[in-house]
Amino acid sequence: MGKKVTFIILAAGLLMIAWGLWEGGFQQVNQIGSVICLECMGLGG
Amino acid sequence: MSKRLTTQLIAALVANPFLLNFFRGNIYQGNLKGICVPVLNCYSCPAAVGSCPLGALQNALAAPFTRIPFYVGGFMILVGAVAGRWICGWLCPFGLIQDLLGRLSKIKKKLPYGVTRAKYLVLALLVVLPIIWVNEAGFGAPYFCQYLCPQGTLSAGLPLLASNYASLSPLIGVIFWIKLFILGIILLGSVFIYRPFCRTLCPLGAFYGLFNKISLFRLHYDKSNCKNCKRCSRICPVDLNLPQESNSAECIRCLKCRDNCPSGSLTWKTEFKSSLPKSSPENT
């Protein structure tokens, strides 16, 4: 039981990553992370 | 230096290799920023090589007409399913800072009962708020980063402000001072309470904790060997009732319990048969 659950979740995670990469998730995260985020620094408001 | 401290230092350096950017006052903007790091490590930290999964997740959710952020979500699920909160105990740079501050005092206070549950509320709000709290154009914001995240204040806000003071100082407002106050409380609290942020507020820790019981790598308890000496329970820095709660969502998997178990009843191993050998006092 425990093994099955673990492997189903692992497989789901891998599948989601593959789907996300196919949808352009890498570029999206790259765009988000490549800009200085003033909000993250507490300077946005 | 302990194996865990060495791993934490290496992990912090791997996630933040561009140390010279602290003096240049800029951030790394190359393609590697498309990769998420598994830890709380602000992408606006000048030295950061990858993106914080929480920041990336919130920004993806905050965009209008957003699709489900499969890439970041899948990454977080995969990491959690492999190691659970081992990431917190062994890789997180902000965990390392709290650990180092904790060494300054031997006085350690326990957290009040129930306060550790606050991080689940933070996690829920982190996911929900960017979707429902939007402006006229339909854009949300990374509210956790904006109002709470002390790691962002420490590793991004303060260094970038120091190196770009003339251009950024006009932006200092109430939110900055609130975040600075939160950071101060957490850093001061770390001296007297073991990892206060990880245990009470960190949404990433809360998320990984959900996987502690079913992760590929986890603690295994062999009841037949146990001498019931309770040494594991006494040594546990997050005050768990061990060995019964060995895979609790609160466990950051520092593995002190395993290393100090005289009978080797606690082992850190995968769901497969191969067991990682313990280093119990009897065997050394």
pLDDT 10s digits, B99-142 = 999 999 999 899 998 999 999 999 999 888 888 888 888 888 88
Q: Is the pLDDT assigned to residue B282 strictly greater than 60?
A: no
- Do residue B163 and residue B93 come from a single domain? yes
Q: Is B46 on the interface with A (CB under 8 A)?
A: no
Q: CA-to-CA distance for B240 and B243, rounded, in angstroms?
A: 8
Give B277 to chain A, closest Cα distance, Å: 21
- Do residue B186 and residue B135 come from a single domain? yes
- Do residue B74 and residue B174 come from a single domain? yes
Domain count of chain B?
Answer: 2
- Do residue B201 and residue B228 come from a single domain? no
Torsion of CA A6, A10, A13, A19, to 10 degrees: -140
Contact state of B73 with A39 under an 8 Å Cβ cutoff: no
Task: Tell me which residue of B64, B90, B131, B115 sits closest to B4, measured CA to CA.
Answer: B90
- Do residue B102 and residue B233 come from a single domain? no
- Do residue B113 and residue B250 come from a single domain? no
B283 falls within a domain: no
Give the domain range for residue B73.
Answer: 3-209
Q: Which of B26, B36, B78 to mutate to test the interface with A (most CBs of A within 10 A)?
A: B78
- Residue with the larger pLDDT of the pair B15 and B62: B15
Contact state of B70 with A3 under an 8 Å Cβ cutoff: no
The pLDDT > 90 percentage for chain B reads: 74
ipTM: 0.93
- Contacts of residue B120, Cβ cutoff 8 Å, sequence gap at least 6: B206
pTM: 0.91
- Do residue B236 and residue B119 come from a single domain? no
Q: Is B200 on the interface with A (CB under 8 A)?
A: no
Q: Is B14 on the interface with A (CB under 8 A)?
A: no
Contacts of A5 in chain B (CB under 8 A): 214
Give B147 to chain A, closest Cα distance, Å: 7
Q: Which residue of A has its CA nearest to B32?
A: A30
Asked if B110 and B194 count as a contact pair (C-beta separation under 8 A), the reply is: no
Contacts of A1 in chain B (CB under 8 A): none
Burial class (CB in 10 A: 0-12, 13-18, 19+), B47: buried
Q: Which of B28, B29, B43, B213 to mutate to test the interface with A (most CBs of A within 10 A)?
A: B43
For the record, the structure tokens of B223 come out as 């009841």
Amino acid present at B229 = C
First to last CA, chain B: 17
φ and ψ of B217, to 5 deg: -100, 130
Q: What is the mean pLDDT of residues B166-189?
A: 92
Burial class (CB in 10 A: 0-12, 13-18, 19+), B114: exposed
B274 falls within a domain: no
pLDDT for the residue B284: 39
Contacts of A15 in chain B (CB under 8 A): 74
Q: Which residue of A has its CA nearest to B169?
A: A43
- Contacts of residue B214, Cβ cutoff 8 Å, sequence gap at least 6: A2, A5, A6, A9, B81
Contacts of B141 in chain A (CB under 8 A): 39, 44
Q: Is the pLDDT assigned to residue A1 strictly greater than 70?
A: no
**Cβ contacts from A onto B, under 8 A:** 162
- Do residue B227 and residue B131 come from a single domain? no
B284 falls within a domain: no
